[in-house]
């Protein structure tokens, strides 16, 4: 078993470099994984690629290295006491803050791991956490077949959310300010797109819905969302007495002030992968009874990987950069020349 591991860390100068750590102790209910790929979640982990570039331009010499990452995939090397569903040699996808880092070895609670289908690559499996986050946003939104939905923000989570809403039978229009993201969405088949700041998103969305208005929407970006919330509210379906109706899901860390014209719109936050995550007794211990808890974090992960395996959730088109972990610093420095050209970044580990 490895005693040391290399972990990607955010440095005070805005770069991403490697630090050396001890491999965590394998405790009961956990698995030791030889990691082969991990996926960056730029909004949560870095504050966004534009923010990372700004940090590089205004370095903080006193900042300590901050290891990061929460989704990876690899091969089980060893299982802790009480783990029965995995064995050494199994291919798995893993998630969890503080567990599934950008590293060559992870120790992860068994309920935050799922089997990787034979036809799913390690790079594809590394999308597990963000895919489950998008799936949970769908569950919170409770869309009905045939409805109109808008996803505002087409980063990785927004793209995955839009895909899942369309799989659920919705007609989805995506909003973003970055043309590359809109191009990616059109490539996998989103029903409509709007380049915010160039096009009139309210009029374009009204045209998209044939005047019906949106039934639902998702805000899938961080930072202040007041403008997006106001625009989406004006796009929602309108009753004869002048009240907007529908549901808006906020997935992630966006902040906003609720305008008075939201009236009958439900605003629902969704920032998790499903029940169980952050419940340490469940993560390391026994499962919730499936008859009462059909969809947990683990069963959401399993469904997402099945959709990837069946070709119904296209994560390959989201990967713009694949970087060997040991070359993280130089590769990310080069990528920062065009932060708007970055979407999915996969680190690959050599063994």
CATH value at residue 200: 3.40.50.720
Select from 240, 270, 300 the last residue of a domain. 270
pLDDT-derived band at 2 (thresholds 50, 70, 90) equals: low
Q: How many domains does the chain have?
A: 2
* Six token digits for residue 197: 């700041």
Q: Are 145 and 165 in contact (CB under 8 A)?
A: no
Asked if residue 177 and residue 60 are part of one domain, the reply reads no
pLDDT-derived band at 112 (thresholds 50, 70, 90) equals: very high
Asked if residue 257 and residue 287 are part of one domain, the reply reads no
Question: What percentage of the chain reaches a pLDDT higher than 90?
Answer: 90
Q: What is the pLDDT of residue 309?
A: 98
Asked if residue 110 and residue 13 are part of one domain, the reply reads yes
Asked if residue 290 and residue 198 are part of one domain, the reply reads no
Asked if residue 219 and residue 155 are part of one domain, the reply reads yes
Beta carbons within 10 angstroms of residue 336's beta carbon = 19
Select from 217, 237, 270 the last residue of a domain. 270
Asked if residue 206 and residue 89 are part of one domain, the reply reads no
Asked if residue 278 and residue 263 are part of one domain, the reply reads no
Domain coverage including residue 254: 134-270
> How far lies 182's CA from each of 174, 179, 195, 260, in Å?
7, 5, 7, 31
Task: Count Cα atoms within 13 angstroms, Cβ side, for 156.
Answer: 29
Asked if residue 87 and residue 15 are part of one domain, the reply reads yes
> How far lies 62's CA from each of 11, 20, 328, 351, in Å?
10, 19, 22, 33
Tens of pLDDT, residue by residue over 147-167, are: 999 999 999 999 999 999 999
**Separation CA 12–CA 191 (nearest Å):** 41
Model confidence at 9: pLDDT above 70: yes
CATH of the domain at 72: 3.90.180.10
**Separation CA 65–CA 269 (nearest Å):** 31
Asked if residue 140 and residue 265 are part of one domain, the reply reads yes
Tens of pLDDT, residue by residue over 203-243, are: 999 999 999 999 999 999 999 999 999 999 999 999 999 99
Residue 172: strand, helix, or coil: strand
Closest CA to 237 of 141, 177, 148, 345: 148
Asked if residue 226 and residue 165 are part of one domain, the reply reads yes
**Separation CA 295–CA 274 (nearest Å):** 7
Select from 233, 255, 270 the last residue of a domain. 270
Asked if residue 313 and residue 237 are part of one domain, the reply reads no
Asked if residue 176 and residue 93 are part of one domain, the reply reads no
Model confidence at 106: pLDDT above 80: yes
């Amino acid at each position: 078993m490895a005693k040391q591991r290399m972990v990607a860390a955010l440095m005070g100068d805005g770069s991403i470099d490697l630090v050396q750590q001890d491999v965590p102790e394998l405790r009961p209910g956990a698995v030791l994984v030889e990691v082969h790929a991990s996926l960056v979640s730029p909004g949560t982990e870095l504050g966004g690629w534009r923010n990372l570039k700004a940090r590089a331009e205004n370095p903080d010499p006193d900042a300590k290295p901050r290891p990061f990452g929460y989704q990876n995939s690899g091969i089980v090397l060893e299982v802790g006491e009480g783990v029965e569903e995995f064995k050494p040699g199994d291919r798995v996808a893993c998630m969890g803050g503080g567990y599934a880092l950008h590293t060559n070895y992870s120790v992860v609670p068994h309920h935050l791991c799922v089997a990787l289908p034979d036809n799913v690559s390690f790079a594809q499996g590394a999308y597990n956490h963000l895919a489950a986050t998008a799936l949970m946003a769908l569950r919170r939104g409770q869309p009905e077949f045939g409805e109109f939905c808008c996803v505002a923000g087409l980063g990785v989570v927004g793209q995955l959310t839009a895909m899942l809403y369309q799989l659920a039978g919705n007609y989805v229009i995506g909003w973003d300010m970055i043309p590359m993201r809109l191009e990616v969405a059109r490539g996998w088949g989103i029903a409509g797109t709007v380049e915010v700041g160039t096009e009139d998103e309210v009029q374009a969305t009204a045209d998209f819905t044939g005047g019906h208005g949106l039934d639902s929407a998702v805000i899938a970006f961080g930072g202040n969302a007041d403008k997006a919330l106001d625009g989406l509210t004006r796009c929602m379906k309108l009753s004869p007495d002048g009240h907007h109706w529908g549901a808006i899901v906020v997935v992630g860390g966006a902040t906003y002030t609720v305008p008075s014209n939201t009236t009958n719109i439900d605003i629902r936050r969704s920032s998790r992968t499903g029940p169980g995550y952050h419940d340490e007794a469940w993560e390391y211990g026994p499962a919730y009874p499936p008859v009462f808890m059909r969809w947990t974090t683990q069963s959401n992960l399993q469904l997402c990987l099945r959709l990837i395996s069946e070709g119904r959730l296209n994560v390959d088109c989201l990967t713009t950069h694949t970087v060997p972990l040991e070359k993280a610093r130089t590769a990310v420095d080069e990528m920062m020349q065009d932060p708007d050209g970055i979407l999915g970044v996969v680190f690959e580990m050599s063994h």
